Amino acid sequence: MADQDGHPDRDEFDLSSILHALSDANRRSVIVQLAEEPDGTEQLCTVFGLPWAPSTRTHHFRVLREAGLVRQRDVGNGRLTSLRRSDLDAVFPGLLDQIVGADRKGRADKS
């Protein structure tokens, strides 16, 4: 069962929720940036260079969290975010890398 912060267990992962979370280019950018870091890297929400106001940011990170894409934990004044790569790769093998790769290609084709 999802914990109090809305992190789903692996057996609750839902493809529709994952694709919905990744259908927003800015939310997808968070995942692409995390995927470029070594596994387990935690980042403050402010480092992703996104155009979100704080309230909007809260919403978008909740969408990512509730889809199972990221894990978040509070530290002092901030919140650290990490990619749930091993969980994602266990439930939908290859999907994360495929979408990260498609995102890079999409940006390259447009530039």
Residue 70 pairs in a beta bridge with 83
Smallest gap from residue 108 Cβ to its own copies (A): 12
Report yes or no: 20 and 35 within 8 Å, Cβ to Cβ: no
C-beta closer to its own copies: residue 80 or 95: 95
C-beta closer to its own copies: residue 52 or 92: 92
DSSP 38: P
Binding interface with its own copies (CB under 8 A): 11, 13-17, 19-20, 22-25, 28, 91-92, 94-95, 98-99, 101-103, 105-106, 109
The whole-angstrom separation of Cα 36 and Cα 52 is: 21
The whole-angstrom separation of Cα 19 and Cα 31 is: 12
C-beta closer to its own copies: residue 22 or 34: 22
Smallest gap from residue 5 Cβ to its own copies (A): 23
